[in-house]
Structures are given as structure tokens and as C-alpha cells.
Homo-oligomer: A and B are copies of this chain.
């Protein structure tokens, strides 16, 4: 049995929804379908979720959002009509939206979540109605009915562990299950959403709970690519990745999968396949615990900007038991998370996202480090990018570091930092932000175009 999730562009209009249904009907294993809200039809379009947010905001501001509500209804009505459905489903959707607008607005976040979730919820109802209209057995299943329980951190909720047991009820449903992504319900019955992009997470949770054979994540690209297509021309598709590799790449800016998506399937051992709704015969990218594919031990190159580095030095630092721990404690006290801590014997660098250091926080941290740790020097270096090369196989290869650093040196890129732990699944290079693009190109060329190693 497969769980298949379809993203917003796959639900954007009737034509796309027909593609989705054709894909679903083409494989009888595709039993549980998770859908997003209708996305953009073209680059100038607005996603349904954004229409809903605008509607909710207007309503919160002046208690009247008729025009905004109508814009949402019209998106659904257009799709329904083009799918040949009558207005019954449109009226249902309109009634649902009107009900939501009547909800208590005393807690804006709770109200906003209920509104935002309407996109996925009604998208699922629409798809189920369409499948029924063409004579296929399909059922919209509400996360409430299925027991998808969430923490009450509205807008950034997490699934509650008991959901996994509850969701097994889906196995008892005949026909194709159409399940809305992105949200669940708190224990007291309120809608709560995952972070944005969270339909991927819903699919992952369902695949894990139902012990699916495969979690298919349909999006609008053929595969995960070895580098970002916006940085490298026509990068190669990666046929297979491990969970860990995908996670490193996602974290460093590969936006194909929402970062949290992999946790449930990883824990349950369910493999994932990234596929393209618009080209379903393409093999896509399979993500699982181990992989056979081994091009040159490097599977991907990612870069992420917006980092800074707090540099701390103190003569004889390494003699002070607890120095590193106290330094990390200061950051923890201030709610700052960090990425890496490369060190010498008398100095340590802490790399972190610089957007955390707002309004005096930077000075506060510097002052605390000076006062509490009596350091010789503390400074902050801004505007760094982190380039990572990822690949499980690197562990057993002599020369990956050599090839990477030589490629960077040939491109005259100065390395601010290097970090490679004993896992050797990634090697990290910090460079100036304005050299990041060049760095990715030079590493891509070395590991994916260098014929010497092909």
C-alpha cells in the first residue's frame, strides 16, 4: 500500500486534479491520498492558502471579509465547474468557510489556523467528489474523524504520539481515502496546523502510521537534483538518497521536502519517493535507509546563506574545564541556537543563523562572553554562507576533501572554516556569502562533471 501526497501546484486547477486522479487510479496500491490546498496556476496567481490568510486578517481587522471569502469560493467553484461537478460541492465549501468565519476570534492564532486549514480540507472534499463523480470509490476522511491529534501550538503544532494508533482506522475504509494535509485537531477539538508546507508532514505521518510500503511525494520537479537548479545549469537528478542525506540537503536549503517530513517515515522505516505530477513516469528520487546508487560518493551540494560566526579566543582556553559548555550555556540562556563549533586549542568559532541576533542581542552576547568568560578576544563575522557536500560514501573515500578544497582553491575562494565530523556524511565549508554561488558551481563541476572520476 502506498500513501501519495500531492502538492499545491498539483491541485491548482481541474486539469491538474485530473492528472492527480489519473496517477492515483493508475496504481491500485495508491490507497491513501494526501492533498494540499490549490496552489498557483501561474506565477502571477495567488495560492488559496494566501487568499485564506488575507480573508482571516481582514475579518480580524474589521469583522467583514465578504470579498475575500468570495475570492476563495470562486477558486474552488472554478475548479469544480471545470471538473464537471455541480454546485452542491461549491455550496458545501461556501458553508464551511462561513462557519469558520463565525469562530471565536479572541485568540487570533487559533482563528487563523482554522481559516488556513480550509484550503486543504476543501481541496480534499473536492477531489473525493470528483473521483465519485467518475464512478470511483473514494472518501474524504477528516483528520478529526481519523484522530490526527496535535499539540496546541497553533501555526507550528506537532503531532501527538497517540495519533499513530488512532490513524490505523484508515485501514478499515474501503476505496481510496482522500485526506487533507497540513492540519489536525487539538484534544479540545480546535484546528491546529503544522508549519507551512506541512502537507508533506501529514503524508509522512500517515505513511508511518499505516506502515505503507512507500510514501510517494508528488511535486512539480522530476527529482531531487545534485545542486539547486537556480545555481547550477541543468544539474543531474539524484536517483537515490538516504534519509540522512536528504535531511542534510533539506536543512541546507533544498526545499523539495519540508524539513520535518522525514522524521515519521525515518522512524517507521518507510521509503519515500519524490515524483513529478506532470511527469509521473520519471523515476523520481527514492529516499530510504540505505542506497545502492553511488556516483562518486558525493550525492549533492547545497548552500545556505545568512550565517555569522562568533569568534572567541583566550590564551590557554583548553585548560579551563567547562569553557565550551559555559559558552554554549550563554547562547542557550539567550535562546540562540547554533550550527557548528569548530575550534583550536585557544579559540572557538560558533556558527549560527545571524537573523537570531536582533536588536542589541549581538552586543548583549558579546558583553556576556567578555564578562563571564574573561576572554582575550570576541568578535562577530557576518554574511557567511555554508556550503555542504553530502554523501554517505565519503567515509570510505580518500581524497574527497582534497577534491573539494582544490576545486574551491582553483576558483580562488577563501575558506573561512572547514568542518568535517567523523560521520563524514557531510563536509562543510564556510565562505563569504558573495562567493557562495561560485563555490557551489566549482564543487558541482568537480564532483559531477569531472570526467576523470566518471
Inter-subunit contact B402/A406 (CB<8 Å): yes
- How many angstroms between the C-alpha atoms of A247 and B314 in the bound complex? 12
A 134-157 binary contact with B (CB < 8 Å = 1; else 0): 000000000000000000000000
Inter-subunit contact B398/A412 (CB<8 Å): yes
A427 within 8 A of B: yes
Inter-subunit contact A417/B406 (CB<8 Å): no
- How many angstroms between the C-alpha atoms of A414 and B344 in the bound complex? 21
A442 to chain B, nearest CB (A): 11
- Chain A contact residue count (CB 8 A cutoff): 68
A197 to chain B, nearest CB (A): 16
Inter-subunit contact B325/A419 (CB<8 Å): no
A420 within 8 A of B: yes
Residue of B nearest to A248 (CB): B345
A24 within 8 A of B: no
Interface hits, A387-430 → B, CB 8 Å: 396-399, 401-406, 408-410, 412-428, 430
Inter-subunit contact A426/B332 (CB<8 Å): no
Inter-subunit contact A401/B422 (CB<8 Å): no
Please pick, from B316, B335, B399, the residue contacting A263 in the complex, using a CB distance under 8 A.
B316
- Of A243, A251, A267, A401, most buried by chain B (CB within 10 Å of CB) is A401
A258 to chain B, nearest CB (A): 13
A342 within 8 A of B: yes
Residues of B within 8 A of A267 (CB): 315
Q: Using CB atoms and an 8 Å cutoff, list the residues of chain A in contact with chain B.
A: 243-244, 247-248, 251, 262-263, 266-267, 309, 311, 313, 315-316, 318, 321-322, 324-325, 328-329, 332, 335, 337-349, 381, 396-399, 401-406, 408-410, 412-428, 430
Given contacts A244-B346, A417-B420, 17 further A-B contacts (CB under 8 A): A248-B345, A248-B346, A251-B345, A266-B315, A324-B328, A325-B329, A339-B343, A347-B423, A349-B421, A349-B422, A381-B422, A398-B413, A398-B414, A399-B406, A401-B405, A405-B405, A419-B420
